[in-house]
Structures are given as C-alpha cells and as structure tokens.
Amino acid sequence: MNNLYKINSFDYFEINADDRKTIVIFTVDKNGDLTNFGYNEESNPELAKDYLKQIRNTILYNKKKRKFLIPAKFKGEPIDFKISMSVDLRYGGMN
C-alpha cells in the first residue's frame, strides 16, 4: 500500500516528454470506504499517487455532503470490490 499523504507537487510536463499509461488500484470495502490504494509497477508513481489522492479527496468531499459510496453486493450482502482503473495521459506540445 502506498502512502497517499506523502505526495509532493510534481510538474509532469516539464519532467516527462513521453506518453504514460498509469493503472491505479483501490478497493471499495463493504462499508463503502476506500482502502488498499496502489498502482502497478509500470505506472508513473507520482502520477498514480496524484490520481489516487484526487479520488480519495472526491470521496471525502462527498461524505461531507452526506453522499456516500454504496458498496457492491453479492447475493444481497455488501462485499469488498476491487477497482483497477487505467489512465492514459499524453504529454507534448500545445500544437
């Protein structure tokens, strides 16, 4: 599990000129909370941490508004549900 609280500001466009594919992984547990944040080995770590931080912050914001995640169900019972999301980001000029 990666620590989302240790994300520094990062200028992706200055440091990288390549295209990057990042896969972030997290679980919506049976209580509707996010757990088990991570990313695959080929992912850009800084980019993956930033995506995961944004997902976490969006969920926390919605909780303050009393909007909660509804956990997945199997045979009517809430279950943990692992989500893997692929994000492609293209770097390059503004031409």
58 vs 90, higher pLDDT: 58
pLDDT at 15: 54
The mean per-residue pLDDT over the stretch 43-67 comes to 91
Closest of 84, 92, 85, 86 to residue 19, by C-alpha: 92
User: Is pLDDT above 70 for 63?
Assistant: yes
The mean per-residue pLDDT over the stretch 69-75 comes to 94
Closest of 23, 26, 1 to residue 83, by C-alpha: 26
- Identity of the residue numbered 75: K
CB 22 within 8 A of CB 45: no
User: Is pLDDT above 60 for 17?
Assistant: no
User: Is pLDDT above 50 for 76?
Assistant: yes
Model confidence over 23-49: pLDDT tens digits?
999 999 999 999 999 999 888 888 899
pLDDT at 57: 94
